[in-house]
Structures are given as structure tokens and as C-alpha cells.
Amino acid sequence: MRSIGERLDWVREQKKMSLEKFGQYLGYGQAKTAARQVMSRILNNHRNLTLEDLSKLQSGGVDLNWLINGVGEIKELGEESQEKFATYHFYDGAEHVETLKIPEFKYPEIINMQSDEILAVRIKTEMMSPTIKVNETVNAVKVDSIKHDGIYILIDEIDGEEVMSVRRFFINLDRSSYQVIHDNPSYPDTEISKETLEKNRLILRVFSIMQTIVKI
């Protein structure tokens, strides 16, 4: 095995993975064609392994000195155990774009959000500027109702069109209504009842501005 590609292919065979599964294992999406194409280029030495690829392989028992330089001991590798994935739903404003499975080990903030269903939403309104600017993407999770003060996205259908808003919600003392605050002073603050709010098709709690995955 004289090349990195040949040694990597040996690793793939040891793990009893198809080209597609091996590509997905390294994090190249869940689309079989894309994963196969990327792996084909890597195995034929037309594309380099990334630092994330090397880290994943090392954690799976691969000697990186052997893999990169052909020096060291060849280790027998067992079949890879199942890792945990989170489902990432990508939205461009109110429009759903794509759903992907993302390995949780790569993105620890997913674990911190305590949900395996994450929504990445590109913001298309100035309501929360400058805190959240137009075209920034946020990580959010779906909730049935607002039980904590914070920033929330509402998505609903109005006159046959999907509409998105993002605002701060503060629970009133009566717990049956909310103060609604915009960080952008051009938008007036308001109040909304719990009953009206829960008629929205989606209520999403915002956790963070997205830094890790550039997809939409």
C-alpha cells in the first residue's frame, strides 16, 4: 500500500463499509452519491483528507503516522459502532430547504440544546437587528408553547403564504400573555395572548447564532 488512498481504502474494508457509508462516516452528508464521489476523489489521491477526517479516523483506532507516511504498525480494525446523529432541518426564512443527519460529536452545541431535532433558520427580517442581522442563521428547537423568556421564531401561514417573525418574548405575571420586544427600535413592542401565539404552525426557541455549519 504505497499511497494514502490505498491505505485509507484498507481502513474502509476493515470497517466493512461501502464507499457511501465510509463517506457518511467521515461526515460528507447523507446523500449517497455525494459521499461516494468525495470518497472516490480521496481514495484516488485527488482530494486531501481534512483535519476533521484525520481526527475521526484517529478516534476510530487508525495510526495517523501509518496512514499519512506509511510508517508504523498496521492495526486490525473492527466494524465501527453506531454513533449518534441529530436531525438538522434547514430553513431559508419560513421555507424548508433540506434535512440532514449531523454527527453529534462534531457539533457539541447540538448536545447542549438537549434535542435531536434541530432547526437552522436563516433570518429574513430586521426585527431583531442588530442582535440577529438579516441573513444570519440561528440554531433553534421546536416547542409547543413558550415557558421561558427568550428569543423565539414564529412561523405561520397567512393568506396562503408562509410568514416568519423573530422576537423576544417575556411571560406576563398572569402567564396567559406575553410582552413582545423587538431589538430593532423601528418595530413597536406589543403584547400577545398565549391562545393566539399557540395558533402558529411552528414555535421555535432560539439558542444561538449558527457558527458551525454553512448550508443554506
204: left (phi over 0), alpha (psi -120 to 50) or beta: beta
Strand partners, 142: 204
Does one domain contain both 190 and 90?
yes
Does one domain contain both 108 and 204?
yes
* Per-residue pLDDT tens over the stretch 97-123: 888 776 655 555 555 566 667 888 999
Beta-carbon contacts of 138 under 8 Å, excluding residues fewer than 6 positions away, are 120, 121, 123, 132, 153, 166, 206, 207, 208, 209, 210
Does one domain contain both 36 and 93?
no
Q: Look at residue 76 and tell me if it is in a domain.
A: no
Q: Which domain range does residue 55 map to?
A: 4-69
Is the pTM value of this prediction over 0.85?
no
Residue at which a domain ends, from 69, 99, 120: 69
Q: Look at residue 214 and tell me if it is in a domain.
A: no
Does one domain contain both 29 and 105?
no
Q: Look at residue 80 and tell me if it is in a domain.
A: no
Angle formed by the axes of helices 32-43 and 4-14, to 10°? 130
Residue 166: phi and psi, rounded to 5, are: -140, 125
Does one domain contain both 55 and 97?
no
Beta-carbon contacts of 19 under 8 Å, excluding residues fewer than 6 positions away, are 12, 35, 36, 39, 40, 43
Does one domain contain both 175 and 123?
yes
Does one domain contain both 166 and 89?
yes
* Per-residue pLDDT tens over the stretch 68-97: 888 876 766 655 545 566 788 889 999 988
**Does the structure show a pLDDT above 90 at 188?**
yes
Residue at which a domain ends, from 17, 44, 69: 69
Give the least confident one: 35-44, 77-86, 151-160: 77-86
Confidence at 152, pLDDT banded by 50, 70, 90: very high
Residue at which a domain ends, from 41, 69, 97: 69
Does one domain contain both 12 and 50?
yes
The single residue listed with the C-alpha cell 434535542 is 115
Q: Look at residue 216 and tell me if it is in a domain.
A: no
- Other C-beta atoms closer than 10 Å to the C-beta of 208 total 12
Does one domain contain both 35 and 99?
no
CA distance 137 to 88: 13
Does one domain contain both 17 and 123?
no
The total domain count for the chain is 2
Q: Look at residue 53 and tell me if it is in a domain.
A: yes
Does one domain contain both 54 and 102?
no
Does one domain contain both 159 and 112?
yes
